[in-house]
């Protein structure tokens, strides 16, 4: 089907490509699901349409009614996806954005008419969430969909990403994805645990806690409510950090296969390779990983073209995950 | 087992600014006990009153979260690096 009434119909049903050439073991196949093919450019399109449609079902938002405003914290992709959906639906979107995201992310928000409210870069996504909560409390007429706590976030992946993966790669043994809001891992993880019991779920995260210097003590920390609500600690089988150096290296390795993907996709690929490396030689395994977005939004970081040490130092100062 | 521990900025006020420590231990629990014994003010930050790990504290052995490796009973080996990090809101990919 190539003819569509709305760009929103293009969300999901993304292709999966064999990236086993990067697997460290011949007995372990790796497949990458290319979420950059979504119309606003990332896996977050699925979340954005799910959040908005659920709010419309509940009557929090009414399509066509003038003067409706949403506010959401985002380090980029959710904001961009929501901005696209909101523009089509006629809602005004305010995005609370850490100041240290790549300039392309900021520009894309502006492309779709979102209003940007800066939060302190040194406080990372934590700071954006806190500022957004404060602003939402002060402005009760704004609709705060709160992707970190909204069941419609993991539900999008339970209903779409999970079934697509199992349909395309029924032999899956491991699912490896990034941990941000935890929506992908909780939604796909629950679907796979229910429909392909025994599938291992691996979470990949950047060493973000190291970079956030706005915390006074551990009580200022944050675990997404949807992670807790979905019993994330029991859902996950492993959770590993991938550092900026390896993230950039694997982002570059993906290019060997013609895949121009974002830096977090490189980090997750690195995690998939680590996962593959610990599988015994006599066990056949199939890993599915997520390439969350394409590389376009990160060109200004020089990730593919500049000296790697310079790029790694740059990556430590921006939010790329 | 000789283990290097990396202490996050958020806990350094309780360690006199110290960012790394070398300790001898066989499990993560022993690593944390060694830190607490040297810096008693750290203990209440690391553990809840029931002795479980603070919910906003992540502990990693060579970048692998110990909650999925057996928690405080996870074994450490010679040369391992144990990293403590606060749990914070992640980015935009998951």
**Which of A144, A168, A184 is the C-terminal boundary of a domain?**
A144
Mean pLDDT by 10 residues, chain B (94 residues): 93 92 96 94 86 89 96 95 88 36
Query: Is B50 in CB contact (< 8 Å) with chain A?
Result: no
pLDDT of amino acid B92: 37
* A287-312 average pLDDT score: 94
Strand partners, B72: none
**Cβ B87 vs Cβ A221: under 8 Å:** yes
Are A128 and B83 an interchain contact pair (Cβ–Cβ within 8 Å)?
no
Q: Is the pLDDT of residue A31 over 80?
A: yes
Residues A169 and A134 in one domain: no
Query: Is B86 in CB contact (< 8 Å) with chain A?
Result: yes
| DSSP classification of residue A75 | S
Residues A158 and A232 in one domain: yes
Residues A162 and A295 in one domain: yes
Burial class of residue A231 in the structure, from the number of CB atoms within 10 Å of its CB (0-12 exposed, 13-18 middle, 19+ buried): exposed
Residues A285 and A183 in one domain: yes
Q: Which CATH number does B2-86 carry?
A: 3.10.20.30
Burial A185-205 (b: 16+ CB within 10 A, else e): bbbbbbbbbeebeebbbbbbb
Distance from A85 to chain B by nearest Cα, in Å? 17
List of long-range contacts for A275-278, beta carbons under 8 Å, 24+ apart: A275/A174, A275/A176, A275/A200, A275/A202, A275/A238, A276/A23, A276/A24, A276/A25, A276/A28, A276/A30, A277/A24, A277/A25
**Which of A110, A144, A178 is the C-terminal boundary of a domain?**
A144
Query: Is B65 in CB contact (< 8 Å) with chain A?
Result: yes
Whole-number Å distance between alpha carbons of A217 and A73: 22
Between A7-21, A182-196, A218-232, A286-300, the lowest mean confidence (pLDDT) is in A218-232
| pLDDT, tens digit (0-9, with 9 covering 90-100), for A194-236 | 999 999 999 999 887 666 666 777 888 889 999 999 999 999 9
Are A221 and B93 an interchain contact pair (Cβ–Cβ within 8 Å)?
no
Query: In chain A, how many domains are there?
Result: 2
Distance from B4 to chain A by nearest Cα, in Å? 16
Strand partners, A97: A118
Domain ranges of chain B: 2-86
Q: Which residue has the tokens 């390779």?
A: A273
Q: Is the pLDDT of residue A297 over 80?
A: yes
| DSSP classification of residue B14 | G
Residues A82 and A31 in one domain: no
Q: Which is more confident, B51 or A267?
A: A267
Residues A279 and A161 in one domain: yes
Burial B9-46 (b: 16+ CB within 10 A, else e): bbbeebbeeeeebebebebbbbbbbbbbeebeebeebb
Coil, strand, or helix at residue A321?
coil
Q: Which residues of A are catalytic?
A: 44, 264
Residues A58 and A97 in one domain: yes
Ramachandran angles phi, psi of A21, nearest 5°: -60, -20
Residues A232 and A301 in one domain: yes
Instruction: Find, among A4, A18, A1, the residue nearest to A291 by Cα.
Output: A18
Find the residue in A nearest to B86 (Cα): A209
* B54 contact residues in A (CB cutoff 8 A): 218
- Provide the CATH number for the domain around residue A285: 3.40.50.1100
pLDDT of amino acid A122: 83
- Nearest beta carbon to residue B94 from set A128, A179, A293: A179
Task: List the strands of the sheet with A69-73, edge to edge.
Answer: A115-119, A92-98, A69-73, A143-144
Residue A2 falls inside a structural domain: no
Question: What is the residue-averaged pLDDT of chain A?
Answer: 94
| pLDDT, tens digit (0-9, with 9 covering 90-100), for A134-150 | 999 999 999 999 999 99
The boundaries of the domain holding residue A179 are: 7-41+151-315
| CA–centroid distance for A78 within its chain | 8
Residues A69 and A13 in one domain: no
Q: Which residue has the tokens 């209440």?
A: B44
| CA–centroid distance for A137 within its chain | 26
Residues A116 and A210 in one domain: no
Query: Is B39 in CB contact (< 8 Å) with chain A?
Result: no
pLDDT of amino acid A273: 98
Are B56 and A75 an interchain contact pair (Cβ–Cβ within 8 Å)?
no
**Cβ A172 vs Cβ A286: under 8 Å:** yes
Are B93 and A319 an interchain contact pair (Cβ–Cβ within 8 Å)?
no
**Which of A144, A168, A195 is the C-terminal boundary of a domain?**
A144
| CA–centroid distance for A189 within its chain | 14
Query: What are A224's two structure tokens?
Result: 């997404």
Q: Which residue has the tokens 């970081």?
A: A301
Residues A121 and A241 in one domain: no
Distance from A317 to chain B by nearest Cα, in Å? 13
* A185 contact residues in B (CB cutoff 8 A): 94
| pLDDT, tens digit (0-9, with 9 covering 90-100), for A150-208 | 999 999 999 999 999 999 999 999 999 999 999 999 999 999 999 999 999 999 998 87
Find the residue in A nearest to B11 (Cα): A217
Are A216 and B10 an interchain contact pair (Cβ–Cβ within 8 Å)?
yes
Residue A56 falls inside a structural domain: yes
Confidence of residue A260 (pLDDT cuts 50, 70, 90): very high
| pLDDT, tens digit (0-9, with 9 covering 90-100), for A73-129 | 998 899 999 999 999 999 999 999 998 888 898 999 999 999 999 999 888 888 899
Are A218 and B60 an interchain contact pair (Cβ–Cβ within 8 Å)?
no
Q: How far apart are the first and last CA of chain B?
A: 36
Residues A52 and A33 in one domain: no
Residue A70 falls inside a structural domain: yes
- Nearest beta carbon to residue A75 from set B8, B57, B92: B92
Distance from A29 to chain B by nearest Cα, in Å? 22
């Amino acid at each position: 089907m190539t003819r569509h009434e709305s760009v929103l119909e293009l969300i999901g049903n993304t292709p999966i490509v064999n990236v086993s050439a990067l697997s460290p073991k011949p007995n372990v196949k790796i497949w990458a699901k290319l979420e950059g093919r979504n119309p606003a450019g990332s896996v977050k399109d699925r979340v954005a349409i799910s959040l908005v449609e659920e709010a419309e079902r509940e009557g929090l938002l009414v399509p066509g009614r003038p003067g409706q405003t949403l506010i959401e914290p985002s380090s980029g992709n959710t904001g961009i996806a929501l901005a696209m959906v909101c523009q089509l639906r006629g809602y005004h979107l305010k995005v609370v954005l850490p100041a240290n995201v790549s300039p392309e992310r900021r520009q894309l928000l502006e492309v779709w008419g979102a209003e940007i409210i800066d939060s302190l870069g040194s406080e990372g996504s934590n700071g954006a969430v806190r500022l957004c909560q404060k602003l939402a409390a002060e402005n009760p007429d704004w609709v705060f969909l709160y992707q970190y706590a909204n069941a419609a976030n993991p539900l999008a992946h339970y209903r779409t990403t999970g079934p697509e993966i199992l349909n395309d790669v029924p032999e899956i043994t491991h699912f490896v994805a990034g941990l941000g809001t935890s929506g992908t891992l909780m939604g796909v993880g629950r679907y796979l645990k229910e429909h392909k019991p025994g599938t291992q779920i691996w979470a990949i995260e950047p060493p973000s806690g190291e970079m956030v210097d706005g915390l006074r003590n551990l009580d200022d920390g944050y675990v997404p409510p949807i992670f807790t609500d979905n019993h994330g600690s029991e859902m996950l089988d492993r959770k590993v950090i991938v550092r900026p150096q390896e993230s950039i290296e694997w982002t570059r390795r993906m290019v060997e296969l013609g895949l121009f993907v974002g830096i977090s996709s490189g980090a997750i690929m690195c995690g998939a390779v680590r996962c593959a490396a610990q599988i015994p030689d006599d066990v056949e395994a199939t890993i599915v990983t997520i390439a969350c977005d394409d590389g376009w939004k990160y060109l200004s970081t020089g990730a593919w073209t500049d000296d790697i040490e310079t790029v790694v130092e740059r990556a430590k100062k921006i939010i790329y995950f | 087992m000789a283990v290097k521990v990396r202490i996050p900025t958020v806990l350094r006020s309780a360690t006199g600014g110290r960012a790394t420590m070398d300790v001898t231990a066989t499990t993560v629990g022993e690593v944390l006990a060694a830190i607490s014994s040297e810096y008693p003010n750290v203990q209440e930050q690391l553990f809840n009153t029931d002795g479980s790990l603070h919910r906003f504290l992540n502990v990693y052995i060579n970048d692998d979260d110990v909650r999925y490796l057996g928690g405080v009973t996870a074994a450490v080996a010679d040369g391992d690096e144990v990293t403590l990090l606060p749990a914070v809101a992640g980015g935009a990919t998951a």
